[in-house]
Structure 1
């Protein structure tokens, strides 16, 4: 069953998170969602080699567009039709189910345990970019271990990478980008990160790295991925002490253990609380990852529409569940955004 996440204020004007008192749902012991959440063998989380993904992009011309957020910050994103073209041109069999959803039907935003919407950029990801800008202005985010949970097109991570190289910041930073589908990581997440990094290069340098006698075309909305461009990207990642870690598979206890080795102190998650089945898993995972990171100060930034009609998740349900499991080390702040036809919220979770 397919559905869309676009709702109007007319649909949402009876839902106000500030009118809802958020309290634990039970005074007794709450059954852990992480303990009961079943992860199928084929969906076990896995860390992938960035270099191996980059090699699959060599010889691909990425067509992209630029997007300006409400706060005036620019990010770049690969065009969806360009992704579809690559899938059709490849000899290898990209997941036939994903190919059907993306190309043949083109009508499914999410299909549980098959595809979780990663090829599209959802509205709240732009809110996160603006929030990330504010965080980088007043904190050491560019010197953190960051996890984008359910990254998809990864616009927040792209903005972080863009800022990192624009500011020539050499402090150590780890960036974990996780999505349910490996093909999302390969076809949009990593390409988008490369595009945003490439935007920080001088035009003359980018021209030199992306053209040769055979491929001489140079457009301002395309990046041709050459061996030389990949080498320069990997070289600059080392130079600026940036580690990019792609992670595929399902959330759950195994996922938290896998990413736990990176001592995450900042979590980003956008449009991931739409399902009542996984909403508790997101809440518990944030708490679990920050508690086990060994940091004295951790933070999570969660962006969501106030309510997801037809699906069941909501900001109120997420806050209710989070308050039922948190302890005194966690502080929660909610900022509502109503600057368009969508009522959305940014939830900041501080761990101290």
Structure 2
């Protein structure tokens, strides 16, 4: 069921938010017409040894999604939520959201633990409109990635992909495990002895050449990864994003991030609901913002009117 829990207030005494330890998240304050919202600063997130050690468990709790002829594995959401909420993780934003039965807590959790229906819309659109070979050597940003399915699809087709999500624990507990389920491993003999059992090995250094992960505020991420305004190596041929326009207060940051990270001939694809009831965001309102911003041209490239209206919007730089 589609729901947004913006009625949940962030309690300053909440141990999940203000826990004092070496892993405490830094915050960046953003002023809005409704007051101040604190947003996590951006940081790069590495593939941890713990994730690699747990990969066999993830495999046992994974399912396969077929996009055209391409199988994509991802961990079953129910298992993930139970695993995260039952374990004492350093990052507890997802656990906080589950505890309060909310899909969104502004400044704390932004819904990344669930796979929203517009993600499937965009996956199907990509499979129909872009040939698999056309992803080769392309740079892709999966912005607000959640489970990472959009970026995983592009990676499986040969692209270099950066995954960005607001919550670090979404990346460590969901995105990165899902990505690793779809990476081909190298094999080598144990202890280099060919008579012993073969074991699977991930070449992490090689993976990090084509896969990177970032958490935190969108604009903070754009600044963290900027090497220079004209540095094409830090920009992307495709920016893919799903269900990220629900909060009008964050839409300008989203557009600014598009502008900062998109190649001059690149494409942004935004999959979203026509209107988000209860929070004010929607595609028509977002289009008004794009028009006033004057940096992008846009068009609707796909529409579904079944149930809650859903669309895919294409943006290009003017």
Q: TM-score, normalised by structure 2?
A: 0.74
Which of 251, 255, 259 in structure 1 is aligned with 2:221?
255
2-side partners of 1:88 and 1:346: how far apart? 33
More helix by share: 1
2-side partners of 1:77 and 1:158: how far apart? 10
> 2:286 aligned with 1:348, yes or no?
no
1:64 shift after superposition: 1.2
Which residue number in structure 1 is paired with residue 294 of structure 2?
326
Are residues 296 and 249 of structure 1, via their aligned partners in 2, closer, same or farther at CA, if it must alter by over 3 Å? closer
Which residue number in structure 2 is paired with residue 21 of structure 1?
none
> 2:83 aligned with 1:86, yes or no?
yes
> 2:154 aligned with 1:160, yes or no?
yes
2-side partners of 1:123 and 1:54: how far apart? 32
Contact 1:159 1:196 in 2 (8 A): no
> 2:51 aligned with 1:56, yes or no?
yes
Contact 2:167 2:215 in 1 (8 A): yes
1-side partners of 2:179 and 2:134: how far apart? 20
More strand by share: 2
1:117 shift after superposition: 0.3
Question: Please, which runs of 5 or more residues in structure 1 have no aligned partner?
Answer: 6-34, 165-172, 210-225
1-side partners of 2:206 and 2:127: how far apart? 22
* Aligned-residue RMSD, C-alpha: 3.4
Question: Please, which runs of 5 or more residues in structure 2 have no aligned partner?
Answer: 5-29, 191-197, 228-233
Which structure has the higher relative contact order (CA within 8 Å, separation 6+)? 1
Which residue number in structure 1 is paired with residue 16 of structure 2?
none
**How many aligned positions are there?**
276
> 2:251 aligned with 1:279, yes or no?
yes
Which of 210, 227, 232 in structure 2 is aligned with 1:243?
210
Which of 112, 115, 124 in structure 1 is aligned with 2:109?
115
SS where residue 156 of structure 1 aligns? helix
SS where residue 225 of structure 2 aligns? helix
1:141 shift after superposition: 2.9
1-side partners of 2:111 and 2:89: how far apart? 22
Q: Note the 1:154-233 alignment, pairs <5 A.
A: 154-164=148-158, 173-198=159-184, 228-229=199-200, 231-232=201-202
1:237 shift after superposition: 3.4
1:36 shift after superposition: 5.9
Contact 2:143 2:241 in 1 (8 A): yes
